[in-house]
Amino acid sequence: MAAHGAVLSLCRFIKPFGGGRLGNTVKVFGTTLTSHRNKSGLNPPPAKYGGRHTVTLIPGDGIGPELLNHVREVFRFSCVPVDFEVVHVNSALETDDDMNNAITAIRRNGVALKGNIETKHTLPASVKSRNNVLRTSLDLYANVMHCQSLPGVQTRHKNIDIMIIRENTEGEYSSLEHESVSGVVESLKIITRNNSLRIAEYAFQLARDKGRRRVTAVHKANIMKLGDGLFLQCCKEVASGYPDITFDSMIVDNTTMQLVSKPQQFDVMVMPNLYGNVVSNVCAGLVGGPGLVPGANYGRDYAVFETATRNTGKSIAGRNIANPTALLLASCMMLDHLELNDHATSIRNAVLTTMNETRLHTADIGGQGTTLEVVQSIMRIIQSKGQLTSEF
Amino acid sequence: MLSNMNMPRLAQMQTVTLIPGDGIGPEISSAVVKIFQAANAPVSWEERNVTAIKGPGGRWMIPPDAKESMDRSKIGLKGPLKTPIAAGHPSMNLLLRKTFDLYANVRPCISIEGYKTPYTDVDLVTIRENTEGEYSGIEHQIVDGVVQSIKLITENASRRIAEYAFEYARNNQRSSVTAVHKANIMRMSDGLFLRKCREVAESYKDIKFTEMYLDTVCLNMVQDPTQFDVLVMPNLYGDILSDLCAGLIGGLGVTPSGNIGANGVAIFESVHGTAPDIAGLDLANPTALLLSGVMMLRHMGLHDHAHKIQKACFDTIREKKVLTKDLGGNSKCSEFTADICRRVQDLD
C-alpha cells in the first residue's frame, strides 16, 4: 500500500521532466545503461582546429568570473592550446534557456570549467539548483576530491591525504519533493543499485590506479536500512573484486568525529551524495579552506572541473582578495584530462611553489596578498622555468 | 541499588527518574549519584529499568512503572542503552523518543580545559529536531534495485524546534541562533524548515538570527568553531553536526546531551556506548553522564549546584592527577569520582 503510494508519488514527479529529460526518467528507475568501465578516466574529446582544444567556460556568480579570468590569463601566458567557449548563466532568471545552452555547449566540447551558480531563494521552489541540473543532465556521476595538507599552509592537523569519491547524481539530491498535505513536505532520497555499483567501481579502480591501500564507505545504514543498506551492499560486492585493497565502512557521524580528531587514518572514502557534501567540506576545512582544493566531476562522456566546495563567495567578490589556488588547480586537473600534462605540471608547480615556498598567501589562509599578486607570482615562476610564454 | 536517597536538605527535594542503562551504565550512574550527594544536591532518585516489553496488542513499549515514574517526575537521567541486533524490538532510544515525544536534542559543546584537543574555546550548542526529517524510517523498494527513503518535514515540528531554540537561547543568555539547512538543493523541505525559523525569529528580535548552508557550516566549523553560538537544524544534519562538535571537544566520553519532550518531560543522557569490554571493571569515565546531570540541574533551576559540580569536574580533569584511561590517565573510575566529590565538598 505504502509502496504503491510511493510509486505514484515518484511517477507524479517524473512527468514534468518530459521530452528532452528522458535521460532523467531512465536514471531514476535505475536502468542507466552504462557499460562496465575498467578505466577511471575517460577518453578526452579529439583536439579540434589544429591541435587546440575547446573547453566550455561557465563563469557563474560571486568570485567565479574574476577567478576564471585569471585562469584564462595564466593559460594565455603559458601558451596553453585551449580556447574557451564562454557561456553565461543568469541565476536570477526562472527559465531554463541559459542552462540548456550551457549543457549543449558541454556536450559539444566534452569538457568544462565552471564557477558556482547561485541558487536564489527568491525564485519559486520549482526552480532547481542549476549546478545540480548540470550534474544530473550530463550524468556526471563521480565527484572526486583530493585533500592534501600543503606544507605552506598552517592548519591544526598535518599529514592529511584523503581522496573523496562522492556519488554525484542521486541520493538526497534527486530533487523529488512534494507537499502531500498542507504543511507536510516529503523529500525523496533515491538510491539505486546501478549507480551505487558504478560509483563503488569508480572508487576502487581509482584507488588501484593511484596505489591507495584502503577504501572506506561512509553511510548511515543503521537508520536508513534499505537505502544506505543497498549502497553498502554494493560497495561490498565491488570490494570482493579488488582483494588487494582493504575495504571497511563507517557511520557518517562517527566519520566526522574521527575526521576532526584523527584525519590521518583515512585513505580513500566513497559515499552517497549528501554525506559526500558534509565530508568533503569537513576535509577541505581541515587542509586550509575552500580556496585551496580543486574538484572534478566525471561522467562517462563528460568532465566538469570546479572548486571542491562549490562556494560562490559572494561576500568577497570583486575585492581582489579571493584565493585563485582552487580554480587554478582545477584547471590543471582539466589539462591532465586533456592529456596536456606538461602544461598541467608547469602551472601546478608554479601554484604550489607560490603557496609553499614563496608563501604568498591570500587572506583566507592568513596572508595579506591580493589575488592579482598571487597570480602574477605564479606567472613569474612559470616564466622563470624557461617554458614558452607570451608577454606578461 | 540506590532506590530512594534521603538527604538532609535545605531546598525542596525534586524527584528524578534514574535509568542506569547497560554495560558501564550502572557504575557511572552510581558515580554521578555519589557526586550529587557530596554536593548536597536536592535530588531524590527513582531508579527504573526501561528494557522493552511487549504490551497488550503486541506493540513494544517501555515498562509501565518506568513510564509512570517519568510522567510524574518529568526529569530523567539516562545511561547508555544497548540495542541488541536481533531483538525484534526497535532501538531503545527510539522507543523512549516516541513514548515521550522527545522532539529536541540539545548538546552544548564546551571545550574542557585540561583535556586538550586541536580546538580551543569551543562554546556552542546544537539543537536538533529529533522526531522527523530523514529518520522517519519510511523506506520502500520501488522496483528491484531502486530504493527510496522519505524525508519528512512538517510545519508543526519545524516551528516547535525553532521556538525551542530561541527560548533556549534567551534562557541561557546566548546571543545568536543559526539555522542550518540545504534549501538550495532541497527547496521545498528545507525551504519549509527555514521559513518557519524565520517566522519564529520575528518574535525574538533580541536574538540574532542567521541561516547557513550545511556545507558552509561544516567548512567553517573545522576552521573556526568560535564563530558559532546556537545552531538549530533538522534531524540528519543535527546528528552529523552534533557528533562533529562532540569530536571538537574530545568525543562522546565528555559530551553531555539533553532531550526535551512535548509535555515538559526532559531526559538527559550520556551519548556514548555501553562499552561492554570494560563494564564492571571500574575503568569507565563518568564525565559525560555527570555533565548531562549538570545540564539537568540547570534545567531544574539549581544553578549553584550545577556550577559547583561542573567546576569540580573540570578542575579534576585540569589537574590531570586522577584521570581515567580514555582521558589519558591510569586511574580507576572510583578514584576519579572520589576526587570530584572531595573538590565539591571543598567548594562548599
Using the Cβ of B212 and the Cβ atoms of chain A, whether some distance falls under 8 Å is answered with no
Please give the pLDDT value at position A45: 60
Residues B1, B257: Cα–Cα separation, whole Å: 24
Nearest-neighbour CA in chain B from A155: distance (Å): 8
CA distances from B173 to B125, B205, B255 (A): 12, 14, 20
Residues A103, A11: Cα–Cα separation, whole Å: 25
Size of interface A-B (CB pairs under 8 A): 189
With beta carbons under 8 A apart, name residues in chain B contacting A164.
none
Q: Counting Cβ atoms within 10 Å, is residue A225 exposed (0-12), middle (13-18) or buried (19+)? A: middle
Tens of pLDDT, residues B176-226: 999 999 999 999 999 999 999 999 999 999 999 999 999 999 999 999 999
Please give the pLDDT value at position B6: 52
Q: Counting Cβ atoms within 10 Å, is residue A107 exposed (0-12), middle (13-18) or buried (19+)? A: middle
Q: Position of cell 550529587? A: B36
Residues A106, A298: Cα–Cα separation, whole Å: 12
Spatial contact of A107 and A45, defined as CB atoms under 8 Å apart: no
Q: Is pLDDT above 80 for A35?
A: no
Pairing of the two strands B208-213 and B102-110 = unpaired
Label residue A392 by pLDDT band (50, 70, 90).
low
Using the Cβ of B221 and the Cβ atoms of chain A, whether some distance falls under 8 Å is answered with yes
Helix (H) or strand (E) holding A342: helix A341-356
Please give the pLDDT value at position A25: 39
Query: Closest by alpha carbon to B224, among B124, B303, B317?
Result: B124
Question: Do B185 and A175 count as a contact with CB atoms less than 8 A apart?
Answer: yes
Q: Considering the entire predicted model, what is its pTM?
A: 0.89
Nearest residue of chain A to residue B222 (CA atoms):
A285
CA distances from B93 to A316, B131, B176 (A): 45, 12, 30
With beta carbons under 8 A apart, name residues in chain A contacting B135.
223
Please give the pLDDT value at position A197: 97
Please give the pLDDT value at position A14: 39
CA distances from B105 to B91, B109, B128, B253 (A): 17, 13, 5, 17
With beta carbons under 8 A apart, name residues in chain B contacting A128.
187
Please give the pLDDT value at position A8: 43
Residues of chain B with pLDDT under 50: 1-4, 9
Mean pLDDT in residue range A240-247: 97
Residues A370, A358: Cα–Cα separation, whole Å: 14
Label residue A47 by pLDDT band (50, 70, 90).
low
Tens of pLDDT, residues A181-226: 999 999 999 999 999 999 999 999 999 999 999 999 999 998 888 9
Using the Cβ of B145 and the Cβ atoms of chain A, whether some distance falls under 8 Å is answered with yes
Q: What percent of chain A is predicted at pLDDT more than 70?
A: 87
Question: Do A172 and B216 count as a contact with CB atoms less than 8 A apart?
Answer: no
Please give the pLDDT value at position B11: 63
With beta carbons under 8 A apart, name residues in chain A contacting B252.
257
Task: Nearest by CB to A29, from B143, B236, B242: name it.
Answer: B143
Please give the pLDDT value at position A279: 97
ipTM: 0.90
Nearest-neighbour CA in chain A from B217: distance (Å): 9
